[in-house]
Structure 1
Amino acid sequence: MFNSAVATLNAPPVSIVLNWKSSYDGANGALIDMSQAVPGYSAHPDILAALAKGASDPALARYGPVEGDPEFRSAYADHVSQLYNAKIDRNEVQITSGCNQAFVATVLALAGHGDRILMMRPCYFNHESTLGMLGVGIDYVDCDDDGGLLPNCASIDAAIGPQTRAIALVSPNNPAGSIYPAPLLADILALCQKRGIWLILDETYRDFMPLDMDVPHHLFAQDDWQSSLIQLYSFSKSYCLPGHRLGAIIAGHDVVAQLAKVIDNIQICAPRVAQHALTPMLTSMSSWRQENRERIAARATVFRTAMDDLPGWDLLSSGAYFGYVRHPFTGVGSRQLAETMARKAGVLVIPGAFFGAGQDGALRFAFANAGRDVIVKLADRLSSLTL
């Protein structure tokens, strides 16, 4: 009766977890929600004002160009060029309705039935389910704890097969928070060029790199990057407007031409009010974004301290928005544990089982959601947890 590729998927993981909220009776104080990766603060008043003004503009209620509004594409190309010390052309920008759509469109443009994509595990669940829905096969490279939940090129090379069309990476990583060093990314791109496949690099969380890291990588400075690199980005985190669904793809002209065919059939054009509102903000909000970067870095420090104060809880990796933690309850599934944490401790997190096979011993904490005054309560809540 239904498409088996969809029917066999799990329900949306975040929806499952958010339903556990109602099981908590408030006995330990207010619920600590570290489940969904959303900014724990509001958009800048100037952004909100621009959105409100744009919503009443009849011109922005019309269809726009499939690739995105020209002014916004130009502004984003300039922004990325400055960030990476590279030269990105406006025609190398495709605007999308969020970064998940960017991934869907990219996969549709690159891979078909029988093709395969290589993913690193633990892996972002929406990437995994997207490939499942589209009938694209998945191969995995497992990232072990000793390597900081990062892969090595030898393992990636060994996993590439004759049907592999692309490698999909997320850096800073979701769920692990691990950050791919620039030399590792360069080696992976070189491997893709050697093997004739694509690197799909999701950099949704790039604005929350460690404070001593200014340039995430130098891939755009390489000759002919357009033949092997496709970069994805989301405006949801840095600009605090996930409900407005705005994302972007940087790729070569020929790739953008294929992406436009896909986007035209999915949504025709990305939300225009948000594009219009953010066009001047990419420059004017730089200081505000830096303040938020520092705010999230401070929360990361408090989170690491909280984990250090919890015997048996092992912080495997952390960075940007996330901490990936091995829990001490051997033999207990992560979904059962996370549901119990919500009910008994009032702490909401995502079970590791949602991030791929072999992840049942872990939990993802999205510490960016909570203030430092809330994060410090974690140790007390979890130290007394019993099953």
Structure 2
Amino acid sequence: MSQTRTRATFPPPVMEARRWLEGVDFTQDRPLINVSQAAPVDPPPLALRQAMAEFAVSEDSAHLYGPVLGNPELRAELAQQIGTHYGADLSQVQVAITSGCNQAFAATISAVTDEGDEVILPTPWYFNHKMWLDMAGVRSIALQTGDDLLPDPEAARALITDKTRAIALVTPNNPGGVEYPAELVRAFYDLAQEAGIRLLVDETYRDFDSRSGPPHDLFQQPGWDETLVHLYSFSKSYRLTGHRVGAIATSPNLLAEIEKFLDTVAICPGQMGQFAALWGMQNLSQWVAGERDEILDRRAAIQDMLPDLAEKGWKLLGLGAYFAYFEHPFDLPSDELAKRMVAETGILLLPGTMFMPQDDPAGKRQVRIAFANLDRKGLRQLFDRLTDATF
């Protein structure tokens, strides 16, 4: 059987993990605690769903094609809100809407790379970024991080070759949860600008950042759009995961190249999701602020509960947004541990091996917990089970 682009990469990790549930019975006394996927399990707030229903019934445009780069009203609103959030001036022509943030990444990579080119990814990496690079014939160059999970710009500098086309960062990080300091993000921007490559900054979880004010000053730099490609998602902030709405902010020239990819793959983003994103930005700022407060409270709860787990040898490496990233204490690899935990503890989480190169032993000692769907009671149950676990 010949090697193909899809055979060059691994199966979707979340779907693989779900298969571990087959044949396992969970009791009422010990139901499954699923911390494998970073997606809200609740639907959008009722007011948004009602607005979407009215839009679907009353507007013929809800069911038709739209502009490839997204509806002008949504692009303009997002440009204005990015500008407000980051203290900068953006134009609608610097913003495009995509069918989810994964598509935003895929479209950008297709526009800035050729087969055999290289993109630098800090590890642990977001597995869908690695998967797309594999399928695009682009080499993923692993930038190892230390126990703080923060990438080093000077270490990245040493990895740049004449094939390097981009560095891709995720902050707040998936899977690590860490929030990259503003000066660190700026250092990577300066490095990318100096090297003549693109800096991709995926801020899918920016609305759950614990810091107030702009998380970095990249949008304030002259000619920022010639270096920065900013990626964003509406999925988490407005619970629109099933509607697939993401966004890109960068130069109009690069968006013209990205448009070719988008037109070929999806023609245009869905009208229902775009309407929901626009309505949400215009009407749900206070609701989103409440969602952020709830996530930050759950993050604080993890800090409160951490000492009991630490006594059992667990080490917290990163915490933020939707994620807690741990080094586990057991004498078995994390991929084996994660499978056994389903039946033996009733917990479904993802092993660090899904976020690391195969030859990096650190992944065998790490696990990711996506905690956003657990309240304090649920987190207490999770930590009690982890504390009691023996392997």
**TM-score normalised by L of structure 1:** 0.96
Name the aligned partner's letter for residue 30 of structure 1: P
Structure 2 counterpart of 1:349:
349
Structure 1 counterpart of 2:91:
89
2:17 aligned with 1:33? no
Once the two structures are overlaid, the 10-residue window that deviates more, 41-50 or 284-293, is: 41-50
Tell me how far 1:43 sits from its aligned partner: 1.4
Structure 2 counterpart of 1:216:
215
Distance in 1 between residues matched to 2:380 and 2:71, nearest whole Å: 44
Structure 1 counterpart of 2:108:
106
Deviations 1:165-224 (A, max 9, x none): 0001100000000111111111110111111100011000000001x4332111100011
2:169 aligned with 1:169? yes
Distance in 1 between residues matched to 2:262 and 2:320, nearest whole Å: 32
1:243-258 map, 5 Å? 243-258=242-257
Given that 2:8 and 2:134 are in contact with CA atoms closer than 8 Å, whether structure 1 keeps it comes out as no
Q: Secondary structure at the match of 2:20?
A: helix
Name the aligned partner's letter for residue 298 of structure 1: D
Tell me how far 1:303 sits from its aligned partner: 2.0
Name the aligned partner's letter for residue 144 of structure 1: G
Once the two structures are overlaid, the 10-residue window that deviates more, 243-252 or 334-343, is: 334-343
Instruction: Specify every segment of 5 or more residues in structure 1 that has no aligned partner in the other structure, as ranges.
Output: none
Given that 1:99 and 1:232 are in contact with CA atoms closer than 8 Å, whether structure 2 keeps it comes out as yes
Structure 1 counterpart of 2:158:
158
Tell me how far 1:40 sits from its aligned partner: 4.7
Structure 2 counterpart of 1:190:
190
Structure 2 counterpart of 1:324:
325
2:378 aligned with 1:369? no
Given that 1:230 and 1:251 are in contact with CA atoms closer than 8 Å, whether structure 2 keeps it comes out as yes
The verdict on how the C-alpha distance between 1:154 and 1:203 changes in structure 2, with shifts beyond 3 A counting, is same
Given that 1:203 and 1:232 are in contact with CA atoms closer than 8 Å, whether structure 2 keeps it comes out as yes
Tell me how far 1:46 sits from its aligned partner: 1.6
Report % sequence identity.
40
Which of 53, 60, 63 is matched with 1:61 structurally? 63
Given that 1:24 and 1:346 are in contact with CA atoms closer than 8 Å, whether structure 2 keeps it comes out as no
Tell me how far 1:285 sits from its aligned partner: 0.7
Tell me how far 1:273 sits from its aligned partner: 1.2
Once the two structures are overlaid, the 10-residue window that deviates more, 129-138 or 43-52, is: 43-52
Given that 1:31 and 1:347 are in contact with CA atoms closer than 8 Å, whether structure 2 keeps it comes out as yes
Given that 1:207 and 1:293 are in contact with CA atoms closer than 8 Å, whether structure 2 keeps it comes out as yes
Name the aligned partner's letter for residue 372 of structure 1: R
Tell me how far 1:5 sits from its aligned partner: 2.1
Given that 2:333 and 2:364 are in contact with CA atoms closer than 8 Å, whether structure 1 keeps it comes out as yes
Given that 1:79 and 1:283 are in contact with CA atoms closer than 8 Å, whether structure 2 keeps it comes out as no
The verdict on how the C-alpha distance between 1:306 and 1:259 changes in structure 2, with shifts beyond 3 A counting, is same
Instruction: Specify every segment of 5 or more residues in structure 2 that has no aligned partner in the other structure, as ranges.
Output: none
Aligned length, in residue pairs = 383
Given that 2:245 and 2:277 are in contact with CA atoms closer than 8 Å, whether structure 1 keeps it comes out as no
